[in-house]
Amino acid sequence: MTSLTTHTNLLRNAYDAATGAAQPVVCLPPHFPPPPKGKLICLCTGKAAAAMAETAARHYQTLLPDDRFIGMATVRTGYGKQVDRFEFMEASHPVPDGNSERAAARALQLAAMAGEDDLLLVLMSGGASALWSAPVAGLQLAEKQDLTRTLLKVGATITEINCVRKHLSRIKGGRLAAAAYPARILTLAISDVPGDAPDAIGSGPTVADPTTLPDARDILNKYDIRITSAISSTLTNDSNETLKPGAPSLANAEYILAATPGAALKAAAQIVERAGYEPVLLGDSLEGEARNVAKDHARLALKLRDEGKRAAILSGGELTVTIRGDGRGGPNQEYALALAIALNGTPGIHALAADTDGSDGGTGKVDDPAGAFVSPDTISRALEFGQNAGDFLAKNDSTGFFEMLKDLLVTGPTFTNVNDLRVILVEPGER
């Protein structure tokens, strides 16, 4: 019989393999361009921004003198590093703050400095949408903050949230590239969105946007969200439409995906396969309500166990949580709690659900949990504390539940972000 510790270690090794495959030091250097004739302006943003800046600084250290290299990195609060030749700005995630607005203004200022002989190198990773927030004229940051909170609360998908944000912004939806035109622009991105669409990663500040103002209005109507008069005016003003394919100011912009959730998922699959489990890959683009997806995955795990399979179910993507209570937690922890309830102590099934950036919901602090482990005794151990797992799920308090059991995964910043990773290890049952 494999011990609980062995299962936990294997799950953690799979997580580490996934995040390791997407580290900037691994995925960026093969795509770095040669130095331009003029200046290189390097803008890094997102949860991987500090490591991206570090990698870029090291690569160009001997290739460009200081007066031809300008670096700026916008990181989530607590995710910074000391990197030569880079100015750092910390901002809030997932709801933007005043620093987000100042960082976006600085990025636009630096982009506008680029001339024809210069290169704007944008190193983009998940979280950039909140870290660069530049409300259009006539719109206050507080209004964008309130709308972001509301969209998160009702369980809107990241694609829907980004569609709305792009149409309220001076930097998203290709507008950063427009500010740098006619300079050459190269974006290297680590994807954190289902489908890896460039216009969705960081809300696409350097690429064309296929979504429209009517699309943004439809999303708000779908969730019956009441908006301020300023937001309503913004979303009905054609001048706030994003840049579309074929826009002249995007002619010199190139985009490369340097790391994807799919590659991270395969790295995790290799770890469990070497340990003797048959990988069952459900894809890297799963979306939906966390507790509902957990029920579906529990049914699959039980089926595989009944069939006598020794398998590992792996999936990525970004799940959502509809807030019903006042507890703590993120989609991965809620998924783990709902999975434990659905499995109801079935022997031989262990799982981990975690965000690859090292933070799943929480308060925005560096010691927020990344996710949580599930084992066959998860529910029974809670009962020993006199607690019912269903009560915690009802109030969206998955952090409180797994904190009680000491089953949280706490990693600190991983300095990358390729979305969620879920792994369920299934041992064969008696036949």
pLDDT in tens, 213-260: 999 999 999 999 999 999 999 999 999 999 999 999 999 999 999 999
Handedness of CA 60, 66, 68, 73 (dihedral sign): positive
Among candidate residues 40, 55, 100, 58, the one with its CA nearest the CA of residue 76: 100
pLDDT at 1: 41
pLDDT for residue 358? 94
Please name the residues in contact with 125: beta carbons below 8 A apart, sequence gap of 6 or more. Answer: 45, 46, 47, 48, 49, 52, 189, 190, 192, 201, 202, 416, 417
Outline where DSSP puts E strands in 360-404: 371-374
- Smallest CA-to-CA distance from 355 within 379, 372, 377, 343 is with 372
Residue 64 lies in a domain: yes
Which CATH number goes with the domain that contains 324?
3.40.1480.10
- From 69, 16, 12, 18, select the one nearest 39 (Cα to Cα): 69
pLDDT for the residue numbered 4: 64
Q: Is there a single domain that holds both residue 280 and residue 324?
A: yes
Q: Do residues 105 and 11 share a domain?
A: no
Domain check: are 188 and 278 in the same one?
A: no
391 with 358, same domain: the answer is yes
**Domain C-terminal end among 215, 241, 259:** 259
Same domain as 221, residue 77: yes
**The pLDDT value given to residue 352:** 98
One domain, residues 120 and 11: no
Specify the pLDDT at position 431: 45
Number of domains in the chain: 2
pLDDT digits (tens, 9 = 90+) for 104-161: 999 999 999 999 999 999 999 989 999 999 999 999 999 999 999 999 889 898 889 9
Residue 431 lies in a domain: no
Q: Do 332 and 268 have their domain in common?
A: yes
- Provide the 3-class DSSP secondary structure of residue 42: strand
The b-or-e profile of 210-233 (16+ CB within 10 A means b, else e) is: ebebebbbebbeeeebebeebbee
Residues 34 and 104 in one domain: yes
| Angle at alpha carbon of residue 47, lines to 45 and 49, rounded to 5° | 45
pTM: 0.90
Q: What is the pLDDT of residue 159?
A: 86
Residue where the block lists tokens 């998940």: 126
Residue 309 and residue 237 in one domain: no
pLDDT attached to residue 2: 52
Residue 45 sits in a domain whose CATH number is 3.40.50.10180
Where a domain ends, among 234, 259, 284?
259
Question: Which residues have a Cβ under 8 Å from the Cβ of 137 and sit 6 or more positions away?
Answer: 170
Q: Are residues 397 and 275 in the same domain?
A: yes
Low pLDDT (below 70) residues in the chain? 1-4, 430-431
Any bridge partners for residue 286, and if so which?
317
Q: Are residues 361 and 234 in the same domain?
A: no
Please report the pLDDT score of residue 174 as a whole number.
97
| The dihedral sign for the CA sequence 90, 96, 102, 103 | positive
Q: Rounded to an integer, what distance in angstroms lies between the CA atom of residue 41 and that of residue 104?
A: 15
Domain with 316, as residue range(s), is 4-19+262-426
Same domain, 255 and 267: no
Domain end position, chosen among 228, 244, 259: 259
Q: Collapsing DSSP states into helix, strand and coil, what is residue 288?
A: strand
CA angle 36, 37, 43 (to 5 degrees): 40
Which residue reads 């290169």 in tokens? 119
pLDDT for the residue 55: 98
